[in-house]
Structure 1
Amino acid sequence: MEISTRKAGEYDWLGLSGDVDMHAAPQVRKALLDALQGKNGLLVDLAGVSYMDSSGVACLVEAFQTARRQGSRFALVAVAPPVLAVLRLARLDKVFTLYATVDEALAGGR
């Protein structure tokens, strides 16, 4: 599991790659919640995620709820097909804001 961060326009960007499973979930949860401390809004890039289990989904849901409570934007970007299948199964593709690219997310946030 690799986690990277940077600025994307006026938002914070967090990129995940590898497996987001019960072993990586604590690290992912911390990274997501730390990124939301800035209250700039968060774009989570999932292009490099090859597998996500329910603990990874729970991290995303908690981050989404945290962002919503603080009035920050939260969106998923470039969701890899295996992750999208999990989100669809849980019907979370209707809850999360999903964008194909960071550029699309930046344009959609205006």
Structure 2
Amino acid sequence: MTEQVQIFQPSGSLDATKSQAFRQEITGFVENGTKIVLVDLKNVTFMDSSGLGALVLAFKTLRAANSKLVLCSINEQIRILFELTGMDKVFEVFSDRDEFQKSLMTKIK
């Protein structure tokens, strides 16, 4: 049986040097049949346009596979980046893993 929810927790900077590895991780989730990928950004201290691009590509890749990408625990810098680029309207963002779990439990009932 495949895992329905996978959690990915990058750390440090999500930039050009890490965006390829991030994309490979997402591809692995798609190949495993994961339905929801929660990207926990709690330990990400900085994100640039390459990191944002990697998130958008991951979102599109998962959507094409009838899966979903959701985010949690974004910091102020990432929140501002999302607002400036309009990505706050694209991504479903939870304050933390607990809020995500509660949302998941509500949908299951």
TM-score (norm 1): 0.84
Query: After the TM superposition, which segments of 4 or more aligned residues of structure 1 sit over 3 Å from their partners?
Result: none
Q: 2:71 aligns with which of 62, 69, 76?
A: 76
Unpaired runs of 5+ residues, structure 1, are 1-8
- Calculate percent identity across the aligned residue pairs: 28
Give the length in aligned residue pairs. 102
Q: Deviations over 1:36-76 (max 9, x none)?
A: 32232100000111111111111100111111111112100
TM-score (norm 2): 0.84
Q: Find the aligned partners of 1:61 and 1:23 in 2 and give their Cα distance.
A: 16
Counterpart position of 1:25 = 19
Q: Check 1:38–1:107 CA distance in 2 against 1; reply closer, same or farther (3 A cut).
A: farther
Q: 2:47 aligns with which of 7, 27, 52?
A: 52
Which protein shows a greater Rg?
2
> 1 or 2, which has the higher strand percentage?
1
Unpaired runs of 5+ residues, structure 2, are none
Q: How far off its partner does 1:10 sit?
A: 4.1
Q: Find the aligned partners of 1:39 and 1:87 in 2 and give their Cα distance.
A: 28
